[in-house]
Amino acid sequence: MTAGMGRPDGRIVGRLRLASQGLAGGTEGLGSVAEAVRWMTAMQAQDLQAAMWAVGVRVPGCGLTGVRTALDTGSVVRSWPMRGTLHLVAPEDLRWMLDLTAERLTKSIAARHRELGITWADIEKCRDIALEHIAASGPVSRAGLFQVFDAAGQPTQGQRGIHILGTLCRHAWLVQGPLAKNQQLLMAFDGWIPVSRNLERDEALAEFLLRYFRSHGPATLADFAWWTQLPLTEVRAAFENVRGQLVEHQFGGAGYWMSPETAALLDSGAPGARSVLLLPGFDEFLLGYKDRSAVLPLEHSDRIVPGGNGVFKKTLVAGGEVIGTWAVERGNRPAAVVPELFEPARHLGPAAQAALRKAADRYLSFLDR
């Protein structure tokens, strides 16, 4: 389905994405931590505390304890399903995601493994060591497992350990499980995730595409290919299986795809025009796209990722546009949210100030619940 020509300003694209991502009241079913993660398909999570708030901001009434409980019970899992980066995913989805992405990533890091002296025989040995240890002693911390590897003659220094661990997780032998304070313990994959959906490659890629555009649209095929690191040629071929379930709009000469429900908001009025949100660093609202210029002016990109160091700051989003960053100020007084606008002269009006206070109260309440 194709509809709509012309270019709305970036805030319209941003507001539609707020709706599709459950950030502006436009998505049904984000009633629990597990439902939110399942709807989002995958949520970047190398910064665990940021990922917890990324879930919390999408689930009304959710507190930090609720997100931790979801991880502790396995209703949400955290692993490396794509891009060599940790994400939160629904447990039943992790195996088919890994089946799609692991081989390509393994090839891309083969040279690094040679530099680290990691052979496939080393991987198989470490797999057996890890599974035997977990079967005998139960869940193990990363540091504890590395000690076991070291003792067995498999050194873990100089990033060798994390590359071995990542490979064991990508091949669905290990997975991160319950929390021990702010670190996750490692479990046998099949023990922690007893039920997995098994999809053929074509079926899996079609589902990946459909769920991404429903939860992240408006977005482009290039956005999805970047997000998953799957070949664009394969993505384009697989897209023919799902395009009839999506709607295309031409924004700035590029084809953006979204669900019919999200597209309908263009006629009824995209929500979130007066919204103010405090989003965590690495949130999917910004990070889930190859091209972020629709919601983040290019001249301010360095304010979010200073020096291109790969570390994304917390974002202040007003009306679907990233307008600044924020931090939490602590000390002798109660914690307070401190915004930093890209353009200090751009004052927030009374309504936006009230919305910002409400967003700050919600974040601080999340931490306490």
Question: Does residue 337 surpass a pLDDT of 70?
Answer: yes
In this predicted model, what pLDDT tens digit does every residue of 293-329 receive, in sequence order?
A: 999 988 999 999 887 778 899 999 999 999 999 999 8
Cβ count near 151 (within 10 Å)? 9
- Worst-scoring range by mean pLDDT, 66-80, 108-122, 235-249, 303-317? 303-317
**What mean pLDDT do residues 343-348 have?**
78
Report the pLDDT value the prediction gives residue 25, as an integer from 0 to 100: 58
The model's pLDDT over 18-54, given as tens digits with 9 standing for 90+, comes to 999 999 854 445 889 999 999 999 999 999 999 999 9
For residue 291, the model assigns a pLDDT of 93
pLDDT digits 0-9 by tens, 155-187 = 999 999 999 999 999 999 999 999 998 899 999
Task: Inform me whether the pLDDT recorded for 331 exceeds 90.
Answer: no
How much is the pLDDT for 26? 46
- Which band of pLDDT confidence, cut at 50, 70 and 90, is reported for residue 59? very high
Q: Kindly tell me if the per-residue pLDDT of 5 is higher than 90.
A: no
Which whole number is the average pLDDT over 6-13? 59
What does the mean pLDDT of the chain come to?
91
Q: What's residue 290's pLDDT?
A: 94
* Model pLDDT, residue 92: 98
% of the chain at pLDDT higher than 90: 78
| Stretch among 149-153, 263-267, 269-273 having the lowest mean pLDDT | 269-273
Q: Categorize the per-residue pLDDT at 254 as very low, low, confident or very high, splitting at 50, 70 and 90.
A: confident
Instruction: Give residue 258's pLDDT.
Output: 96
SS (H, E, C) the chain: CECCCCCCCHHHHHHHHHHHCCCCCCCCCCCCHHHHHHHHCCEECCCHHHHHHHHHCCCCCCCHHHHHHHHHHCCCEEEEEECCEEEEECHHHHHHHHHHHHHHHHHHCHHHHHHHCCCHHHHHHHHHHHHHHHHHHCCECHHHHHHHHHHCCCCCCCCHHHHHHHHHHHCCCEEEEEEECCEEEEEEHHHHCCCCCCCCHHHHHHHHHHHHHHHHCCECHHHHHHHHCCCHHHHHHHHCCCHHHCEEEEECCEEEEECHHHHHHHHHCCCCCCCEEEECCCCHHHHCCCCCCCCCCHHHHHHHCHHHCCCCCCEEEECCEEEEEEEEECCCCCCEEEEEECCCCCCCCHHHHHHHHHHHHHHHHHHHC
Closest CA to 230 of 111, 120, 98, 112: 98
> Looking at residue 8, what is its pLDDT?
43
Rounded to 10 degrees, the C-alpha dihedral 36/304/183/364 comes to: -70
As a whole number of angstroms, the distance between CA 208 and CA 42 comes to: 10
pLDDT at residue 39, rounded to an integer: 96
pLDDT digits (tens, 9 = 90+) for 86-112: 999 999 999 999 999 999 889 999 999
Give pTM, 2 decimals.
0.91
At 293, phi and psi to the nearest 5? -70, -20
Write the pLDDT tens digit of every residue in 183-221: 999 999 999 999 999 999 999 999 999 999 999 999 999
Q: What is the pLDDT of residue 27?
A: 45
